Structure 1
Amino acid sequence: MKPVLPLALLIACTAAHAADPATLGTVEVVGTAPLPGLDVPADHVPAAIRTLDDQALRKAGGASLAENLQRRLPGVSVNDITGNPLQADLNYRGFTASPLLGTPQGLSVFMDGVRLNETFGDVVSWDLIPQSAIADLTLAPGANPLYGLNTQGGAIGLHTKRGDTHPGGEASLESGSFGRTRASLSHGGSKDELSWFVAGDALHDDGWREHSPSEAGQLFGKLAWTTATTDIALTLAQANTDLIGNGLTPTSLLSENRRHIFTHPDQTRNRSTLLALSATHWLGDADRLAANAYLRRTRSRTLNGDANDDYEDAYETWVGGGMIGPAPDETGVLNRTATDQNGAGLGLQWTHYAERHQFALGVSHDRGHARFSQTAQEGELTDNRGVDTDEASELENKLSGRTLTSSIYLTDTVALAPTVQLTASARYNHTHVINRDKLNRTAPNLDGDFTYNKLNPALGLTWQASPALTVYGGASQSNRAPSPIELGCADPANPCTLPNALAADPFLAQVVTRSLEFGLRGRAGEGLRWHAGLFRATNHDDILFVGTSTSAGYFTNFGQTRRQGLELGASGNAGVFDWRVDYTWLDATFRSSACLLAENNSSRGQSAECTADGQDDEILVSRGDRMPGLPRHSLKLGLDWRAGERLTVGASVLAYSGQTARGNENGKHRAGSATDRFGKTREFDDKGELPGYAIVNLSADYRLGSGWTLFGRIDNLFDQRYATAAALAENPFVDGNFQADPDDWRRERFEAPGTPRAGWIGLRYAWGAR
């Protein structure tokens, strides 16, 4: 890894401070597994654990949890591919947690020990998480096997509020740009051994782009009974959302008006219910049991107006047949999906505390059942790029998928010396994935029965070289079994219109991730904290989604991919100022060579290796090529000024370098004319990269007294024009008119435009808190 000079400088600086005794204050304790009980001092964790409490999340001021994590945590970026802030892709160190089928998932998300990644595709629906109920969160980096499947790049652990820890009530209302209005109400309390907490969130947003209104609501309740040795909590969470996310838009349309969208409608309606029971019990002074059980049900309905991927073949057939009869006019299609998922699981963990050891042994079992159906209704694209149709809907796929995972894990943190801690962990996962085709009962169909087994180890060491300096390092491994949607969409000859058409597909190998992490963290005086670290994660048999058009593609195993980089960060206070700075260098590359479909890349059909069978729409991706959608550099600055006893003003800067567009995985796409090995010349618009950007956000809180607070914020203060994601695709509209001949379609860059300058103001009232 190249950027080692800043790390060396920090080591030298800390050595100078090591001679001065630092005031350490209270010891920060963090959880290192989904279930409670495995809590260790932060300085004993051999990784760069990050935590945020509810106050930090509130100050971030984002529309969604994903946006708040982007604003406050290093190494986190967001791709607004859908155009809806509640449906963003969250990237951390090059791994993603996304609500979109087709996005390779590499982060696991838990709420009070319940895994929130869905059965069908491992997706994470940020819109279903009750934000006002979050007490704090922990981001554990790396392939930590204790968190189970999908923990390739890290795990996000959310912990919700309780009445005995968050007593009192709070109500808030804010409104502003884009017709966005948000209201929240919460209350917690306790009496004797009983405590309770309830919260509700509601959001209405007209959206800043055309045809983009959204509504979201979440309800949360927790009832707990606590004694000196036992704690039992029952949680009920419900969510109901109706979201419009109109996706990527051609640059030619955005140049006319940033509010333009490509095609519509693009609607997602989600419903979810979670019932969870958790308990902890001290068996004695040194032994603690923790257990949880949950039932989860989600219902998703989508309606997507898309360009018809079958139109081009129909037009070519009509031309090849002598243009007899009317020309095909089914240029658009309404794709509808229905996904019903039921999940259940239980876990049990025993933790033993000894003089030099903290040992834990746990078991878990999770099972999910997904029922999926998809219909298509062909029609005609209108002048405003909607879909007009009077055709009947046709059922194209109906699938039932089951995933069953049983695991056993153990870990031990042992003090080799007063300042040296060794942590060893291992987890064995057994996963069974079963697909049943409910539409086509005879082979070849979607039926499949796959079993995956893996033993994943981890080993880490921390050394507290001085009261102000800790050195850490570790190696770990985790795995991800393919989900039912990936196993049902893995044939390049039958690309899927996600989350739509599926086909009988080949076996996919499970992804195995091996990660390394080394770093330093330290303190100076009472205010300054800093961190410097190096990380590397290598995926073996990675699963990628290869796009064949704006809406279609397939899943495939792709040799090796690697994410590695450097993180530098510091935070502190100086008088009335609190400040923070975080920098991340990320090198995310393909480590194997392969031919990928990319028909809108100017280098298509030019590689001898990828044209051997007459294929003219593939590109050669080589070892060292950058992975798309991930900025190489990110810088985050924050400053809070306590301007008076009542007024606090904050400012933050988010800066990202450029990124590669999807479809340009080989980095060779260029604008202009290009001729392939078969003599075919095509025209290509735009380049296959996005430029970097920087935005400035402002916030202010003014305490009016008697529990009242007036607050406001301005996002993108200087109205910066930017985009957070891009892909190469075909645009059949030229000057607003649909081009019947596909040879006249423009091959250009599609973008996810960033939100323009916007502001909100609100009022908050709090009562009854201690």
Structure 2
Amino acid sequence: MRAAPALPAPIVTATHRFLTATLLTIGGFLAVSGLLARGALAQGAPPAPEQVIVIGTSPLPGSGIARDSVPAETSVLDRADLARDGTPDLLAALNEQLPGVSLDAASGNPLQPTLQYHGFQASPLQGTEQGLAVYLNGARFNQPFGDTINWDVIPQVAIDRIDVEGSNPVFGLNALGGSLNVRMKNGFTYAGGEADASGGSFGQAQGEAQYGAVSGDTAIYVAGNVLHQDGWRDLQSSDVRNFYGDVGWRRDAIELHANLTLANSVLNGPGTSPVELLAADPAAQFTAPNANSNNYIAANLNGSYAITDDTSLQAVAYYQYLQQRVVNGNAPNDVPCDDGSGLLCSDPGTPSTTRDGATITDFLQGGPYSELDEQTTNTNGYGVSAQITNTATLFGLHNHFVAGGSFDGAQTMFSAAAYIGGLTADTRAFAGPGILIDEPGSNVPVRVAVGDAYAGAFLADTLDLTPAIAITASGRFNNAEIDLADQQGGDLTGQHSYSRFNPAIGATWKVRSWLTAYAGYSEANRAPTPAELSCASPADSCSLANFFTGDPDLKQVVAHTVEAGLRGTLGAASGIRATYDISLYRTDLDDDIGFVNSLTLGRAFFQNIGGTRRQGVDASLAVRGRRWRVYVDYSYTDATYLTGYVESAGSNPAADADGNVTIMRGDRLPGVAPNQIKFGGSLQLTDAWLIGGSALYQSGQYLVGDEANLTPRLPGFITANLYTRYQLTQRVQLFGQIQNIGNERYYTYGTFSPTAAVYLSQAPNASNPRSYSPAAPIGGFGGVRVSF
């Protein structure tokens, strides 16, 4: 129990931390910037030529403006940044090199992490609130069924660049905290061929190849990769196969591209394990199996046409198919009844049932039992986007105007079922064949057809009032229609409709050649997903693997963001170039959606929980010489509840006498680390040999399930990596890296597990429900790359 504070101490403390971190960061970065500027001026030499970085004003390829004209925090990683440690790795590069970004491994598989940016998430896991919009070659990549992001289906070697931008309504639904816009390579941007083979710890073996060529007006590009990992934890493994191909054609004012993505993956992740089990065996998993398989096909057609010197048209059309199967072994919700009936019960006094309402006997005579949850998703998605870009002067002033529209549709067939069966003693894996569970209002086999239709119209205009000052105004109207049709005569059928216009306005001011200031305000929204809409009542709660019941509507989530910052580049005559960024932001969400525990252990439901806030500061400094580079990033993220509520405690041991916890205004959102420091660099020892490294510090965070902040935080950690490359010949390169060089034992995600529901042979007296997902120990990897 917790006594209510006499004063709003959580709010005062959080605000004090936020302001202190902000002031210290601003002061430090301005001091460093001033010293660098003074050093450049003291040498009496003009600054080095400024490198203009272009940022897309919308998700579509082919239209962009200079980054200094964007009134929001922006970051760009190119193909070299993605492959800095060896083989290209999008998520690792974002995690190591960008402020405000972190990864957690709730699933326990390294290829299924949840990416967080400013406390908002882009995750492959159903039930995670998706607060980031992700695009691939201009097509919406958030999956229609749950807005999820399947990182494993993206061929890493084929990525050309990724733009990360703060909240911008032009990027449509889910851009609450920002957007990630991934651009793939083509034959006009990549020429030649390359192949590499690599391997190392945890049974990893990988091969990648790419080739691009131009012939007259036509270009081709093909890439593929194969990856296998045995994993370092029990029942952990990954198998991924990806292909990407692009055919491009351009002549005079027209450029067209047709590309195809094929992917197949089978990912086994052990998830979290109780802390006492991990203490006995750091590689142990809790319950099994935990498998996710994806079969993915995507075809994309995009192009641009210069109508006049000032006006151009950009368009994208796409089709994608995803077949996903998820299998989870879990602690049972059905256990032997305590009335001597010889049956299983789902709740005290409520016998478990199977088909046709037949009761389920205690067929293992006391157990142990486990539950297997299966779900299959088949989605056909399609969409089209088009925009007009005009750069003609307006009242004699330079102007950049974009207006367009988009439609994203999908048809999904979802099915789910749960089975009660035995439990193996050593690995705690489900032992079948099992008996189908059919319990109305809880575990019901379902088959439902879902139709999604998302339409949007947007515009954005950037006007240069002076050569130094630019004003941007933008807005987008979103309309979402979600229809559910129960295929088994149940009560899932329903229609849901959401619409909203989101505005934005901001300005940039180039104070000096090395200093740009910006500020802006924006709004964004997301519609509840079919998963959330179908599990939104405390009377009909659900598990993440089998969550469909007939429930009431949910409100859409609306974000209001204010941000301001400074950025710039300093160049000295000595060849040293420094770039810096500092950004402050605050995003308030109305009608945020949370996954709230129900009275039934292991089940929960989605609910509008009121307001939440994410505010913070990001700061980065990178200095580059002729043969070296160093960087340091700092992030402070203050993610809190603005509205209090009460929920069942679930497995949280800090429950009150009624089995509840009370979330108060100012409590921190779980799973979000307040502080991060990243630093790294590289040194070109010789013309052939480069060495480098990176390190990451992350402070502790509250466990998911501890929304009331009543138990200790997940421990903070620091980890470091080293990498090297050696150019053996003009066409042959050797590369290698060591991850977690200190062999630190640390955790990126924590929650609570029903420890008492499963017997742990390695820790037979375990009672602590705290459950962590451990990171990998020290690992070495190396390979060879051949260019042709």
- Do Structure 1 and Structure 2 share a fold, with TM-score over 0.5? yes
1:634-693 Cα deviation digits (max 9, x unpaired): 000011010111000011001100010011111113xxxxxxxxxxxxxxxxxx421100
Alignment match of 2:484 (pick from 425, 429, 435): 435
Q: CA deviation at 1:727?
A: 0.5
1:384-399 alignment to 2 at 5 Å?
384=426, 385-393=428-436, 396-399=445-448
Aligned amino acid, residue 480 of structure 1: R
Shift of 1:64: 4.9
1:436-455, Cα deviation, whole Å (9 max, x unpaired): 111234xxx11111110100
- Aligned pairs for 1:441-590 (under 5 A) are 441=490, 445-526=491-572, 527-547=577-597, 552-590=603-641
Query: Is the partner of 2:95 in helix, strand or coil?
Result: helix
For residues 459-513 of structure 1, give each alpha carbon's deviation from its aligned partner in whole angstroms, at most 9, with x where no partner exists.
0100000101100010100000011111011112222121313211111000001
Q: CA RMSD in A?
A: 2.3
- Alignment partner, residue 674 of structure 1: none
Aligned counterparts, 1:92-171, within 5 A: 92-142=117-167, 144-171=168-195
Matched-pair contact (CA < 8 Å) for 2:172–2:524: yes
Distance 2:58 2:551 in 1: 35
* Aligned residue number for residue 650 of structure 2: 599
Name 1:617's counterpart in structure 2. Answer: 659
For the pair 1:264 / 2:283, whether they are aligned, the reply is no
- Do residues 81 (structure 1) and 106 (structure 2) align? yes
Alpha-carbon distance between aligned partners in 2 of 1:322 and 1:299, rounded to the nearest angstrom: 36
Matches of 2:349 and 2:530, distance apart in 1: 40
Instruction: Provide the rounded CA distance (Å) in 1 between the counterparts of 2:721 and 2:785.
Output: 20
For 1:334, the equivalent position in structure 2 comes to 372
Give the distance between the partners of 1:150 and 1:211, measured in 2 at CA.
Answer: 34
> What's the CA shift for 1:275?
0.7
Q: How far does residue 546 in structure 1 lie from its aligned partner after superposition?
A: 2.5
Structure 1 equivalent of residue 741 of structure 2:
717
Contact 1:396 1:501 in 2 (8 A): no
Question: What is the CA–CA distance in structure 2 between the aligned matches of 1:149 and 1:390, rounded to whole Å?
Answer: 42
Structure 1 residue 631 corresponds to structure 2 residue 673: yes
Match of residue 423, structure 1, among 472, 478, 482? 472
1:469 to 1:746, Cα distance in 2 relative to 1, 3 A: same
In the other structure, the counterpart of 1:680 is none
Which of 739, 751, 760 pairs up with 2:772?
751
From the superposition, tell whether residues 656 and 572 of structure 1 become closer, same or farther in structure 2 (CA, over 3 Å): same
Partners in 1 of 2:717 and 2:290 — Cα distance? 27
Look up the equivalent residue of 2:485 and give its one-letter code. Answer: R
Cα distance, 1:196–1:314 mapped onto 2, change above 3 Å: farther
Deviation at 1:307, TM superposition (A): 1.2
2:560 is matched by which residue type in structure 1? Answer: R
Shift of 1:545: 1.7
Partner of residue 222, structure 2: 198
- Tell me if the contact between 1:582 and 1:636 (Cα under 8 Å) persists in the aligned partners: yes
User: What one-letter code is carried by the residue in structure 2 that aligns with 1:333?
Assistant: E
Show the counterpart of 1:283.
307
The aligned counterpart of 1:45 is 70
1:314, CA displacement in angstroms? Answer: 7.0
- Number of the residue aligned with 2:413: 371
Residue in structure 2 matched with residue 611 of structure 1 by the alignment: none
**1:380 and 2:439 matched:** no
Structure 2 distance, partners of 1:650, 1:325, is 60
In 1, the alpha carbon distance for the partners of 2:654 and 2:139 equals: 45
CA contact (8 A) 1:498 1:551 kept: no
What SS does the aligned partner of 1:390 have?
strand
Q: Do the aligned partners of 2:561 and 2:586 also contact (CA within 8 Å) in 1?
A: yes
Q: Tell me by how many angstroms 1:337 deviates.
A: 1.0
**Letter of the structure 2 residue corresponding to residue 528 of structure 1:** A
Distance in 1, matches of 2:715 and 2:583, equals: 27
Deviations 1:530-583 (A, max 9, x none): 111111111110111234588532211110111100111100124532001000
- Which deviates further from its counterpart, 191-200 or 384-393? 384-393
Deviates more, 1:385-394 or 1:205-214: 385-394
Q: 1:12 to 1:173 in 2, by over 3 A?
A: closer
1:192-271 equivalences in 2 (<5 Å): 192-271=216-295
2 CA distance for matches of 1:435 and 1:474?
38
Q: CA deviation at 1:745?
A: 7.7
After superposition, the C-alpha distances for 1:253-275 in whole angstroms (9 at most, x for unaligned) are 10011110001111111001001
Work out whether 1:66 is the aligned partner of 2:109.
no
Structure 1 spans left out of the alignment, 5+ residues: 607-615, 670-687
Is 2:720 the counterpart of 1:696?
yes
Q: Distance in 2 between matches of 1:66 and 1:636?
A: 15
2:441 maps to which residue?
A: none
Q: d(CA) in 1 for partners of 2:375 and 2:671?
A: 26
Cα 1:105–1:317, aligned 2, differ >3 Å: closer, same or farther? farther
- For the Cα contact (< 8 Å) 2:336–2:366, is it kept in 1? no
Give the TM-score of the pair, scaled to structure 2: 0.89
The percentage of aligned residue pairs carrying the same residue is 34
Deviations, residues 134-190 of structure 1 (Å, cap 9, x unaligned): 011100112x10100001111100111111210000100001101101100110001
Please say if residues 534 and 547 of structure 2, whose CA atoms lie closer than 8 Å, have aligned partners that are also in contact: no
Amino acid at match of 2:380: N
CA distance in 2, matches of 1:538, 1:592: 11
Structure 1 length as normaliser, TM-score?
0.92
- Work out whether residues 119 and 614 of structure 2, in 8 Å CA contact, stay in contact via their aligned partners in 1: yes
Q: In 1, distance between residues paired with 2:244 and 2:761? A: 46
Q: Distance in 2 between matches of 1:447 and 1:24?
A: 61
Segments of structure 2 that go 5 or more residues without pairing to the other structure are: 1-17, 352-360, 438-443
What amino acid sits opposite 1:5 in the alignment? L
Of 574-583 and 82-91, more deviation after overlay is shown by 574-583
Distance in structure 2 (CA, Å) of the matches to 1:153 and 1:716: 30
**TM-fit CA distance, 1:197:** 0.2
Contact 1:649 1:701 in 2 (8 A): yes
Matched, 1:761 2:782: yes
Amino acid at match of 1:423: T
Question: What is the one-letter code of the residue matched to 2:323?
Answer: R
